[in-house]
Amino acid sequence: MPAPKGQGQPGFRQGLARLRTKFGGKENRSPILFTGSSITLSVAQMLAGLLTVHLISPRDMGLWSSVNLALTYAFFVLAGVQNGLSRELPYYLGAKNEGMARRLAATALYYTAAGGLLAVLAGFGAVLFLATTGAESKLIYSIAAIALLILFRFYQNYLFITFRSKDSFLALAGVQGWQALLMIVTLPILFLGYGGLLGRAVLIAGLGLYLMHRARPLSVMPVWKTDSFLLLFRTGVPIFATDYISSCAGTLDKVALLRFGGVEQVGLYALAMSAYTAFAVIPQSIAHYIYPRMSHHYGRTHNPRVLWTLAWKTNAVIVVSMIPIALAGSMLLPIFIKLLFPKYLAGTHAAQVALFTAIAYGATIGANALNSLKAWSSLIAFQLSYAGFLAIGPFVGIRFFASPIDGVAYGMLAANVLGAIVSLTITFVATHRQTRPIPDGFAESSQTLEERVGAN
């Protein structure tokens, strides 16, 4: 019998209203849209990477991949100040102390600008030196391009840190959508050859930085405050030092290939790196969203177990969502590579493995809780273990496989799987070490910056 008019339909409408309330609010809409834009950017990067390896020779890709190592090493100049801001900014916003948050952001911006200027001067000094010694023109242009990219990356990383509220992540989702479009519309530049590769990289980085600058949620002038710098430095150094070690260790896969295979092998491996980099955008973007939420919640509640809940749930979402994509990608890659990139056939299997390596890497994201908790001993234990796996894995893998590329790929997969296991174990122990909320956390947030630095 049909339900009487006025019954049944209201219940359906109420159900829809509850769904709209749950998923339509900014609390849920921000991570959904941000993650969606990150996936779009990831797909655009993957398509761009595939066309790049189709048009650029393995030797030239090997040269550019080798020069790109400078991007990782250049962040040593920033000495952890930005890492300190990534923890302290959401913490003080959660503690309702916006004035202190703005002071820290202004000091970090000043230091970032100084570091960027130093990197550019060093880069162009290297260009002048190479030009006078008659070095290969491609190498000279590569150094000039990487100097500009380092400058852009420094400021971009600073801006990324300042996107901390739900509203700001909605704006950042829009920026990432435009960046994905830039990735696609600039693809014809690659037909210009190696020069096009360099020019396109600089153009995308510059325009993407401009879009992010326009959408920045925290507009401050660079101002030097010694006490602010000391706080950022003391917080950031443990985070930066351990993360820097693991980041540098993560480049040893290319070092191993250079040692046992040569530049051309590194170029063939670029296909795997493109697949990994594009797919890793998903966990990296989720980490950019969840890490400040961890610090914000901890600043508000000072309950360590809240961090554990966020950590394991984040890891679960990442792994479950990425596995189907990796399976589909691993089946499609051989077809596309054979048809479109026959020069890179030797790197096909490594590219398939790299997709699953990105999943294992994503399962380490929950360890950001250690930064929010300032559990330095636990953070050091995790990062040093992870760095050890990344450093040893490629060289061990090469010993077990006839193909150096496949050996390095499997070595990196094993290293990231072990890193994920260790990260979850250490995070659980660190967040359950205290049996109750820490009472002096709120007192800490009420102190002046000078008192905190002086007390340390």
**pLDDT for the residue numbered 288:** 76
At CA 185, angle to CA 183 and CA 187, rounded to 5?
Answer: 70
Q: What is the pLDDT of residues 138-197, one digit of tens each?
A: 888 889 999 999 999 999 999 988 887 666 777 888 888 898 899 889 989 988 888 888
pTM of the model: 0.68
**pLDDT for the residue numbered 447:** 43
**pLDDT for the residue numbered 404:** 87
The conformational region for residue 302 under phi > 0 = left, psi -120 to 50 = alpha, else beta, is left
**pLDDT for the residue numbered 241:** 83
Amino acid 30 reads S
In sequence order, what DSSP letters do the residues of 203-214 get, joined into one string?
A: HHHHHHHHHHHH
**pLDDT for the residue numbered 362:** 92
**pLDDT for the residue numbered 57:** 80
* Domain residue spans of the chain: 29-445
**pLDDT for the residue numbered 37:** 78
**pLDDT for the residue numbered 34:** 75
Low-confidence residues of the chain: pLDDT under 70: 1-31, 165-167, 434-456
Tokens, residue 207:
């325009």
**pLDDT for the residue numbered 30:** 66
